[in-house]
Structure 1
Amino acid sequence: MELSDKSSKGRVIASGVIPFAFVILMMVYIFGPGADLLDLGIPLPEITIEKVDFVDSEIQATVRNTGPIPVEVAMADVNDRIQPAAVEPDRFLERFETTLVRIPFEWNEAEPYIIGITIEDGTRFEKEVEAAAPALEPSLDLAIFFAIIGTYVGIIPVMIGLLWLPFIKKISKQKFHFFLALTAGLLLFLAIDSIEEAMEVSDESLAGSFNGGLLVATVTILSFLGLYYSGNKLVERASSSKLSKPVAIALMISIGIGLHNFGEGLAIGAAVGLGSVAFSTFLIVGFALHNTTEGIAIAAPMSRGKLMIGKLAAMGMIAGAPAIFGAWIGGFSYSPFTSVIFLSIGAGAIFQVIIVIMKWIRDEGDNNLSSASVASGFAVGMLVMYLTSILV
């Protein structure tokens, strides 16, 4: 009997492995002996100028081969005028390999420039810089500056929003459901905003070979599924541990907002590095107003549990502090690919939290999610986020 069971398991395993073996053989043939069958056209070269730095009397362009074939960098130009250039480590690029093109040039701050790179077959690629700005060099003063900006746009607004907790704690159940739905509306706006920012970064700075739209969709869905599973486990364990259900939900909201603010910090740091954003008092106030509503999203579920100042402050730091780390990374080592990834992760996390909040409203007794309090709260949350976003 035992031998029969082993034989049966072996057949099951074999039936699962055999199709994969045929797939591998097919791919080996396509990229091997059968390669000529797919040679139906001429592959076109493509390179992407991922980053342009202005250093002293030099322009440095980071170039990546994003096409299907190897390329050779032939020459560089600035504003359509050919310039002498050094290429490090060398001019020959395999697929996805990068090189640094150094162009001696007396550039002027705040002036626009078009950097062009021509490869061996005469194809030219360019990147436009709206306003030249000196490349950022890591320093303690600059790190402190980014920390201050991150605190202004991340931590302080969230902490101010948490001050709504005493008010939300004293209102009726129906009005509480209004604020929970308002929280869901706020978060839905943030999720859509994250996807929009990810698509914008992808369209502007990410090579077409990375399939930016599909990358955003894939990472968002994977983030949602992963956090949905872990979030359900967290809520289930909350009832059997010291962590109450309201605190568990508030923690998930804080993590989702924190991931969003990390992506926002990346964008802020990159903007400072490119010299394209002037951080005026008006801009800081705009970010502060917009992000204050994020504190309401955390305060709403916490209002139905025991008031714990320490945990409330920790939630605010989880939600707001990532803006500082994002600003550091964005300013000192910006990568469009990383920005797209984290913005998409933030969107998926927020979608997961919205599902949790709506389930909580239903479990609280308001089975009709289309009731006036829920529908109006959701609508007001979206409207508030839109109106404050205009100021950013």
Structure 2
Amino acid sequence: MEVKRSSSTKTAVSAIIPFVLLAVMIGYVFGPGSELISFGVVIPEISIEKVEFVDSEIIATVRNTGPIAVDIVMADIDDMILPAAIEPDKHLERFESAIVRIPFDWNEGQPYAIGLTIDDGTRFEKQVDVAAPSIQPTIEMISYFAVIGTYVGIIPVMIGLLWFPFISKLSRSKYKFFLALTVGLLLFLGISSAEEAIETSAENLSDVFNGVLLVATVAIVSFLALNYVGEKLKKRAGASKLAGPVAIALMIAIGIGLHNFGEGLAIGAAIVLGEAALGAFLIVGFALHNTTEGFAIAAPMARTKLMIGRLAALGMIAGVPAIFGTWVGGFVYSPLTAVIFLAIGTGAIFQVIVLIMRWIQNEEGKLSNSSVLAGIAVGMLIMYITSILV
């Protein structure tokens, strides 16, 4: 017994020692050995993450994304220095944020450059192309965004589910084609989601967040987490006699729902920022896209008995998140949140692709079937064509 206890103690100590040595090394570098990192110039940086226009006031949300603490000492609009209130205070430690309130009689539709200067004299600027009133979460606006989310998310997915009777009548080879076509649709959707996440991070996030690595990390974690959930669902499906295709359709609906949340964020943010044309473009484009998402949910279930309630529930799982996305994008939009949710959607979609491909392989024994390859190619082409029609 003593031997086992001694062995466990040695194992625990061997696990802790590397951490202790690492802590000592870091402590030395930032303590007695600080001269090792004292060479060169430390460059401060702040990021203006959000600009809101309210009655006779411009409100900027700012974050210290540099390596050292800074003090905000001055604010300006179009190089005109103005008084400003900083909440909670002007001193920002690394990654700390503050709200800068600048009294200013702005004009709707006009461009403005919001500038903030820190204690060392460095000025940082955020360009707003079109000033638009900040949207408040009133009943009217909540309802408005809900209608948009329904139009973009729920209705197109439900329309796509109407392909169920058509798919259920197909021969085996044609069914394989349409199942693979689902993979093509999702593959394009996943790539598009990753591209949008990386583009959003490049345009709105500081380099300190390492946008591409952030997207990759979140997408992979999302993939692994949903893969775990998918395995659990498959086990429960087997135990409860629930058909495997239904479990797969559920995972597809969850993955699409996470993606549609990101789409809702984009639409809500575009409307809030006054980009009406972009908002209209996104609404029409996403609505067209999401019809094919309904098809993707229906395809795996086409060999099961038609259960309208279950099919509708899956459509709601896929479509309703678009409503929540428009609310978040419209009322509390954050570029970091948008990037994270787009990356989560990316990981979810690729996990669903792997799930469907495994199922096809289990059914057919191989993936190099001509129907499968043709279906994937056609699915991607359909998504590409619908992406450029509007």
Structure 2 residue 332 is matched with structure 1 residue 333: yes
**SS at 1:239's partner residue?**
helix
2:4, 2:72 → 1: CA distance? 62
Q: Equivalents in 2 of 1:323, 1:37: separation in Å?
A: 51
Unaligned runs of 5+ in 2: none
User: Residue 40 of structure 2 aligns with which residue?
Assistant: 41
TM-score, length-scaled by structure 2: 0.96
Residue of structure 2 in register with 1:79 after alignment: 78
The answer (yes or no) to whether the contact 1:130–1:276 under 8 Å persists in 2 is no
Query: What is the CA distance between 1:161 and its match in structure 2?
Result: 0.3
State the secondary structure of the residue aligned to 2:33: helix
C-alpha distance after superposition, 1:173-196 (max 9, x if no partner): 111111111111111111111111
- 1:375 is matched with 373
1:385 corresponding residue in structure 2: 383
Separation in 1 of the partners of 2:280 and 2:70? 47
Distance (Å, rounded) in 2 between the aligned partners of 1:12 and 1:64: 43
Rounded Cα–Cα distance in structure 1 between residues aligned with 2:278 and 2:142: 16
**Corresponding residue number in structure 2 for 1:208:** 207
Contact 1:55 1:135 in 2 (8 A): yes
In structure 2, distance between residues paired with 1:281 and 1:326? 16
Q: How far is the alpha carbon of 1:152 from its aligned partner?
A: 0.3
Q: Could you say which residue in structure 2 is the equivalent of 1:98?
A: 97
Q: Structure 1 residues 202, 282: closer, same or farther in 2, change over 3 A?
A: closer
Aligned counterparts of 2:116 and 2:87: Cα–Cα separation in 1? 14
Give the Cα separation in 1 of the matches to 2:318 and 2:32.
Answer: 55
Tell which deviates more after alignment, 181-190 or 250-259: 181-190
Question: What is the distance in 1 between the residues matched to 2:279 and 2:254?
Answer: 29
CA spacing shift, 1:79–1:149, aligned 2, 3 Å: same
Is residue 202–residue 336 contact of structure 1 (8 Å, CA) maintained in 2?
yes
1:283-302 matches, cutoff 5 A: 284-302=283-301
* 1:346 match: 345
Amino acid at match of 1:61: A
CA distance in 2, matches of 1:311, 1:36: 66
Q: Which digits, 9 at most, give the CA deviation of each residue in 1:201-258, with x for residues without a partner?
A: 1111111111111111110111111111221222133122142201100000000000
Greater mean deviation of Cα atoms: 195-204 or 131-140: 195-204
Deviations 1:72-101 (A, max 9, x none): 112222222222323223222111122222
Query: Do the aligned partners of 2:267 and 2:283 also contact (CA within 8 Å) in 1?
Result: no
* C-alpha contact 2:263 2:286 (8 A) present in aligned 1: no
For residue 149 of structure 1, what is the aligned residue in structure 2?
Answer: 148
Alpha-carbon distance between aligned partners in 1 of 2:279 and 2:89, rounded to the nearest angstrom: 42
Partners of 2:272 and 2:283 in 1: CA distance: 17
Name the aligned partner's letter for residue 99 of structure 2.
L
Residue in 1 aligned with 2:176? 177
Output the amino acid matched with 1:63: V
Aligned to 2:243: 244
2:267 touches 2:279 (CA, 8 Å); kept in 1? no
- Structure 1 residues 129-144: aligned runs within 5 Å: 129-144=128-143
> Structure 1 pair 309/21, CA: closer, same or farther in 2 (3 Å)?
same
Flag the 1:88–1:10 CA change in 2: closer, same or farther, 3 A: closer
Query: Using the alignment, how far apart are the partners of 1:330 and 1:280 within structure 2?
Result: 12
Partner of 2:53, secondary structure, is strand
Residue identity in the other structure for 2:276? V
| 1:278 partner SS | helix
Look up the SS of the partner of 2:106 in the other structure.
coil
Q: Which stretch of structure 1 is more off in the superposition, 256-265 or 200-209?
A: 200-209
In the alignment, is the contact (CA less than 8 A) between 1:43 and 1:68 conserved in 2? Answer: yes
The answer on whether the counterparts of 1:50 and 1:64 sit within 8 Å (CA) in structure 2 is: yes
Identify the residue that residue 24 of structure 1 maps to in structure 2.
Answer: 23
Structure 1 pair 60–80 and aligned structure 2 pair: CA distance change class (3 A): same
| Matches of 1:282 and 1:226, distance apart in 2 | 33
| SS of match in other structure, 2:235 | helix
Look up the equivalent residue of 1:373 and give its one-letter code.
S
- Match of 2:228? 229
Give the conservation status (yes or no) of the 8 Å contact 1:269–1:328.
yes
> Separation in 1 of the partners of 2:174 and 2:237?
25
Counterpart-to-counterpart distance in 2, 1:12 and 1:113: 62
Decide whether the 8 Å contact of 1:283 with 1:391 is kept in 2: no
TM-score (norm 1): 0.96
Specify the alignment match of 2:59 in structure 1: 60
C-alpha distance in 2 between matches for 1:321 and 1:275: 24
Q: How does 1:297-316 map to 2 (within 5 A)?
A: 297-316=296-315
Check conservation: 2:267, 2:282, Cα contact below 8 A. no
Q: Distance in 2 between matches of 1:121 and 1:3?
A: 63
Tell me the distance in 2 between the aligned counterparts of 1:280 and 1:229.
Answer: 36
Structure 1's unaligned 5+ residue stretches are none
Q: What secondary structure, in the 3-state scheme, does the structure 2 residue paired with 1:64 have?
A: strand
2:265 aligned residue: 266
Q: Counterpart amino acid of 1:227?
A: L
The answer as to whether partners of 1:287 and 1:391 remain within 8 angstroms in 2 is: no
What is the alpha-carbon distance in structure 2 between the residues aligned to residue 223 and residue 235 of structure 1?
18
TM-fit CA distance, 1:56: 1.2
* Residues 279 and 23 (structure 1), Cα distance of their counterparts in 2 relative to 1, 3 Å cut: closer
Deviation at 1:103, TM superposition (A): 1.8
- What residue identity is the alignment partner of 2:22? V
- Indicate how the Cα distance of structure 1 residues 94 and 280 shifts in structure 2: closer, same or farther if over 3 A, else same: closer
**Partner residue in 2 for 1:127:** 126
Counterpart CA distance in 1 for 2:317 and 2:299 is 16
Question: What is the count of residue pairs matched by the alignment?
Answer: 390
- The alpha-carbon deviation at position 169 of structure 1 amounts to 0.6
- Write the distance in 1 (CA, Å) between the matches of 2:7 and 2:280: 72
Quote the Cα distance in structure 2 between the aligned partners of 1:228 and 1:17: 32
